[in-house]
Structure 1
């Protein structure tokens, strides 16, 4: 349970961003939930600190559904959040793939472009690690996401080879 004064808004925004970054699920009116897993502990601690700095308070509770359907519902809601993240990740993998296609089609084989694509792949790798860490229930799209990330890495390796071939022909 999180309460942070409305003014100044930067504190509320910082808390909200941290909760989203951690992968917390909003239950409404300042109630957020994460599974009881070690991967969330540091994020919860950061939320508590950010709220306190902003003059707010956080009440951290261990909770469980009263019956199996309650626990299953929370798990399903949490997994649905991860599925949305995986869908966004997969869309960015498609963008990466399209960008590599464009560079090859336009024969833009420069070290600067290669470095930019390497940075894009590294961003995808970091994002994949972050989602994987908080996907404690295993959303179905996780397997596809891993395969797509490998595909992106393979595409970059191919593009890298083409860049070096083009540079050595000069």
Structure 2
């Protein structure tokens, strides 16, 4: 069951970056794309990215522009203040869809990799501190990932509550596994 999203305040203005990097370097294109995705940018079309107008995002866009220039490219950076309602809704839905997909990926990671890893270690009876520590690191990666997605979910996407629940379930499974590791190894100290 999907969780109903809240309706956060719709942005009054938007940051738009149009850029071009040399076509002979896929490495440059990927570098710029990765930086914009890390910021949470929504691609309206190829090499045209939009973000809500926020001070920290404006600073991030300026860094991306510097990177584009460094890579031998060019860019145009605009603040859009008077956006038609249908365009504004396209942006908002684009951001919501983008965040919802990321939440779904976290849920999938929990269900397919994390849970299966613990099940596999139980099957192998690999109750070691080292294995528990390795799985704990995987949990920390999931937590950081969820925090990043929540940090760029400006439009209230579906899926956040489920992703939080799944990460909490992973934590509970790990705690149970760690308790079993402790019980099985306490005599080895």
Same fold (TM over 0.5): yes
TM-aligned CA distance change 1:162 to 1:41, over 3 Å: farther
Structure (1/2) with the larger strand percentage = 2
Within 2, Cα distance between the matches of 1:89 and 1:43? Answer: 25
Q: Pairwise CA RMSD of aligned residues?
A: 1.7
- Unaligned ranges ≥5, structure 2: 1-17
Within 1, Cα distance between the matches of 2:25 and 2:131? Answer: 42
1:70-98 per-position Cα deviation (integer Å, ceiling 9, x unaligned): 21221011110111111111100112112
Structure 1 contact 12–54 (Cα < 8 Å) conserved: no
Within 2, Cα distance between the matches of 1:63 and 1:3? Answer: 20
Q: TM-score, normalised by structure 2?
A: 0.82
- Unaligned ranges ≥5, structure 1: none
The partner residue of 1:29 within 39, 42, 46 is 46
Q: Are 2:23 and 1:13 equivalent residues in the alignment? A: no
TM-aligned CA distance change 1:161 to 1:16, over 3 Å: same
Q: Are 2:15 and 1:3 equivalent residues in the alignment? A: no
Within 1, Cα distance between the matches of 2:46 and 2:164? Answer: 35
Structure number with greater CO (CA < 8 Å, separation at least 6) is 2
Q: TM-score, normalised by structure 1?
A: 0.91
1:92-130 per-position Cα deviation (integer Å, ceiling 9, x unaligned): 011211211222232210122112101111110110011
Q: Which stretch shifts more, 149-158 or 96-105?
A: 96-105
Structure (1/2) with the larger helix percentage = 1
Shift of 1:64: 4.7
Q: Which residue pairs with 2:8 in the alignment? A: none
